[in-house]
Chains A and B, each alone.
Chain A
Amino acid sequence: MATCLNHRFPALLAALTLALTAPAFAQTNTGADKDDKAVAEQVEALKKKVIRLNRDLFILEEDLLFPANTQVAVFLSVDAGKFLKLDAVKLKVGDEIVASYLYTERQVKALERGGMQRLYVGNLKTGVHQMTAFVEGIGPDQRPYKQAASLEFEKGTGTAALEIRVEDRSSDYQPSVSIVEWE
Chain B
Amino acid sequence: MGLTVIKPFRACPVLLTGALLWLTVVVPAQADEPQPERAQDLRYGWVLYEYHQGNAFEALTQLAVAREQGGIDGHGDHPALVEGGLMLSWGMTREASRLFTQLLGNDGAGSTLSPDVRNQAWFYLGKVFYLEGDHGLASENLERVDGDILAEANHELFREWIYLRARLAMMSSRFGDESELASLQSQLKDTDIWSLYLRYNSAVSALAAGDAVTAEAKLQALIAIIEQSTDSGEPEAEREGVLGRARLSLARLNLRDNQFEAALDVLGDMPLNGVFADQALFDYAVAAAGQGRPERALDALDTLSNRDLFLPWRQQVPFARAYVLEQMNRPQQALPAFKQAADHYQARIEELDNIRNRLSEENLMAQLDFGRESDGILTDSYGRLRVQPADFGMAEVLASETFQQALAELNELYRIQSFIAERQSRFESFRIMLETREQQRQVRIAQTRRALENQQADQWQQLHQEFSEKISSALTEEDVGFFMTSKQKALRDKLDEVEETLAGLPDDATTASQRATYQRMRAYFDWWIADDYGVNRWAAQKQLRELNREMDRFQAQRQRVETLMADDARHAELARRIAASERELATLGEEVADVLGNARQALLSQVDRMLLAQKEELNGYLLASRHAQARLADQLFRASQNAGAGDE
Interface residues of A (CB under 8 A from B): 1-2, 5-6, 9-10, 13-14, 16-28, 30, 32-33, 35-36, 38-44, 46-61, 63-65, 73, 75, 77, 79, 106-107, 109-111, 113-118, 161, 163, 182
Contacts and interface: CB of A to CB of B under 8 A. Distances in A.
9 closest A-B pairs by beta carbon, nearest first, are: A116-B45, A115-B49, A23-B613, A110-B52, A2-B627, A10-B290, A24-B396, A55-B64, A115-B48
A114 B419 contact: no
Contacts of B553: none
Nearest to B594: A42
Given A5-B628, A109-B52, A24 B610 contact: yes
B542 interface: no
B377 interface: no
Given A53-B423, A115-B49, 15 more contacts: A10-B286, A10-B290, A13-B316, A24-B397, A24-B400, A27-B613, A28-B400, A43-B595, A46-B592, A47-B92, A55-B64, A56-B581, A110-B48, A111-B49, A116-B48
A1 B628 CA distance: 10
24 contacts: A2-B631, A10-B258, A16-B621, A20-B313, A21-B396, A25-B4, A26-B613, A27-B610, A27-B613, A40-B91, A49-B588, A50-B419, A50-B420, A50-B588, A53-B423, A54-B57, A56-B584, A57-B423, A57-B581, A61-B426, A114-B26, A115-B48, A115-B51, A116-B46
Contact of B416 (A46, A58, A116): A46
Contact of B402 (A2, A33, A52, A161): A33
Q: Would you call the interface of chain A mostly helix, strand, loop, or mixed?
A: helix
A64 B430 contact: yes
Nearest to A33: B402
A44 B95 contact: yes
Interface in B411-450: 412-413, 416, 419-420, 423, 426, 430, 433-434, 437
Nearest to B413: A43
A153 to B, nearest CB: 16
Interface of B: 1-2, 4, 22, 26, 37-39, 42, 45-46, 48-54, 57, 60-61, 64-65, 68-69, 90-95, 132-133, 252, 255-256, 258, 260, 279, 282-283, 285-287, 289-290, 312-313, 315-316, 320, 323-324, 327, 396-397, 399-403, 405-406, 409, 412-413, 416, 419-420, 423, 426, 430, 433-434, 437, 574, 577-578, 581, 584-585, 588, 591-592, 595, 598-599, 602, 605-606, 609-610, 613-614, 617, 620-621, 623-624, 627-628, 631
A34 B225 CA distance: 41
A41 B599 CA distance: 11
Given A2-B627, A110-B52, A14 B405 contact: no
Contact of A2 (B90, B252, B426, B628): B628
B602 A65 contact: no
B52 A40 contact: no
Given A1-B624, A27-B400, A42 B595 contact: yes
A47 B406 contact: no
A157 to B, nearest CB: 14
Contacts of B623: 1
A63 B621 CA distance: 69
Given A39-B406, A113-B48, A58 B65 contact: yes
A39 B409 contact: yes
A28 B401 contact: yes
A167 to B, nearest CB: 10
Contacts of A13: 282, 285-286, 289, 316, 320
Given A32-B606, A53-B584, A64 B437 contact: yes
Given A36-B402, A65-B433, A113-B52, A2 B286 contact: no
A38 B597 CA distance: 13
Contacts of B423: 53-54, 57
A39 B598 contact: yes
Contacts of A118: 42, 46
Nearest to A111: B49
Given A46-B595, A51-B60, A14 B316 contact: no
A60 B574 contact: yes
A27 B402 contact: yes
A22 B628 CA distance: 25
A123 B476 CA distance: 57
Contacts of A116: 39, 42, 45-46, 48-49
A136 B412 CA distance: 37
B45 A115 contact: yes
Contacts of B397: 24, 27
B602 A36 contact: yes
B49 A20 contact: no
B92 A48 contact: yes
Given A35-B602, A44-B94, A114-B45, A64 B434 contact: yes
A48 to B, nearest CB: 7
A14 B409 contact: no
Given A20-B617, A107-B53, A118-B46, A54 B37 contact: no
Contacts of B585: 53
A106 B53 contact: yes
Nearest to A10: B290
Nearest to B286: A13
Contacts of A36: 402, 405-406, 602
B49 A117 contact: yes
Given A1-B623, A42-B598, A46-B588, A60 B577 contact: yes
A13 to B, nearest CB: 5
A182 to B, nearest CB: 6
B48 A114 contact: yes
Residue among B52, B93, B260, B592 with the most chain A CB within 10 A? B52
B64 A46 contact: no
A149 B60 CA distance: 32
A39 B599 contact: yes
Contacts of A75: 42, 45-46
Contacts of A35: 598, 602, 605
A175 to B, nearest CB: 16
Nearest to B49: A115
Contacts of A110: 48-53
Contacts of A63: 574, 577
Contacts of B94: 41, 44
Contacts of B64: 51-52, 54-55
